[in-house]
Amino acid sequence: MDTPPVPAEKFLELAILHVNAGKPDRARVICEHALAAYPSHPAVLQLLAQLQLDAGQLEDAHRHIAASLMARPDHAPSLLVAGGVARAQGRLADAARALSQAAALAPANDKAWFELALVRQDLRDFDGAADALRQLLRVVPPRAEVEVNLGIVLQEAGRMDEAMEAYGRAYRLREDTFGRIAHALSTPSAGRLWLDLGDLHAALRNASG
């Protein structure tokens, strides 16, 4: 009597258990076994691509996430993986397209907006990065680190008053962001010079926004 094949979902369940246990190499091997049995399974391809991205196996990750998206072109989690692979490979325009699509399909996904902001910043599209960070702040509780990033890209865009508002919100949420804010403001090309750090503390406490 023939043994029934192991369902793809069982492979995925086992692989995810190993990921959660901190054993990504073992999870990757399980996904490879699953792919041998189910060569076109989009979820197996997606998980394997993510594991390969994490391991720096970029060419294999690119091949597998592209195959996954052939079956599910509008699958936001797969587009997130595709964006991560493209960014790691230096294909920033491709990364921006994939992440923009992921964010449009899943507007409540904070990772999509954050990754899109990073790629737009890499592309020196500072206004676009600011827009993505503002969308992120609409779907997550107030986060000081996001406000600092917003201040940085607004500063790079030459919008210093708005940058100070973002820095002020960050500082009021968490005063330990002060060092990062002070460092950003010292950037020669786009910053402001504060000779007295006490004045800067006061300015951040009192910044509108």
Distances, alpha carbon 116 to alpha carbons 42, 98, 124, 192, in Å: 23, 9, 12, 27
Residue 132 CA to residue 116 CA, distance in Å, equals 7
Residue-wise pLDDT tens for the chain (209 aa)?
455 688 999 999 999 999 999 999 999 999 999 999 999 999 999 999 999 999 999 999 999 999 999 999 999 999 999 999 999 999 999 999 999 999 999 999 999 999 999 999 999 999 999 999 999 999 999 999 999 999 999 999 999 999 999 999 999 999 999 999 998 988 766 656 665 778 787 888 888 76
For 50, 156, 159, 197, the CA distances from 166, given in Å and listed in that order, are 33, 13, 11, 18
